[in-house]
Structures are given as structure tokens and as C-alpha cells.
Amino acid sequence: MYFPVAHVRTVPARSLFDAFVSEVWNEPSVAASPRCDVYTDRSKWYVEVELPGIAKRDVHVSVEGDALHVKAERTEGETRFLFLRRERPIGKVEQSFRLGQNLDAERLEAKFEDGLLTISVPLKASALGREIPVT
């Protein structure tokens, strides 16, 4: 097999070693954090997490106490190719968010479409405020 020497020189030695160790001993890789945005309107908080190339069945959303967890795994699948350059990581991605006291985690909704996970968490009724009539 031919491995281009120029490509090997551009990769940091530590990365090559880590890849070799992970490949040979089949050690699990450390989970990466996906890109995400968190924003709000007057009634809900939204979390959007980029998960390109991940199947819906491999995306998991959970709530434990006041923490929202997003976990997913990008699997390699079968390939007959020898990669000369690979920038799209394979393995686990994880991200956690702390839910505030004003958010209603019981009514949380998650939708996954075109590699984008959108989670909406409504505010509790007590956090929305209300108009007080003046008499």
C-alpha cells in the first residue's frame, strides 16, 4: 500500500499515536461535543444541536434532575476504502445543558431532521408572568 509521506508529516505525532493505539487496542474514544445554539423566545427555550451524518436511531435525549443530556454516535459502517484523509469523526458525541428552575422539563420536545436536533423546553406557567388587573 502507498501512504503519502507529505500527508503524514502534516498530522501531529500525538494524533497518529492516539489513532494507532485506539485502532490496535480498540479503546473507546473520548466523546466530542457537537456544535449547538441555545436561544429563547417569550415562552420556550430552544437547543439546536448539529449532528450531521448521524441516524435518528443513534440520537438519544434524556433528562436527569436539572440536566438535559444529548448523546449520539456516528458509526463507520462497512467500507472498502483506505482513507487518506478523514475529517469527519467517527464515534460518540455528547453535550449536556443545565435546565433552569423556570423550565418545564416534563413538557420537553425533541425533533431530529436533516442532521439537526431541535429541543424545545417550555417555561413553567409561573415563570411566564401575568397581567394584574387594576381596580
114, three cell numbers: 436533516
pLDDT of residue 88 exceeding 80, the answer is: no
Residue position matching grid coordinates 473520548: 30
The 10 Å CB-count burial string (b at 16+, else e) for 10-43 is eeeeeeeeeeeeeeeeeeeeeeeebeeeeeeeee
Report yes or no: 74 and 59 within 8 Å, Cβ to Cβ: no
Average pLDDT (19-38) is: 61
Identify the structural domains of the chain with CATH numbers, from first to last. Answer: 30-125 (2.60.40.790)
What predicted TM-score, i.e. pTM, was given to this entire model?
Answer: 0.68
pLDDT at 30: 54
Q: Mind listing the pLDDT tens digit for each residue in 34-76? A: 899 999 998 899 999 999 989 999 999 999 998 999 999 988 7
Q: How many alpha carbons fall within 13 Å on the CB side of residue 8?
A: 7
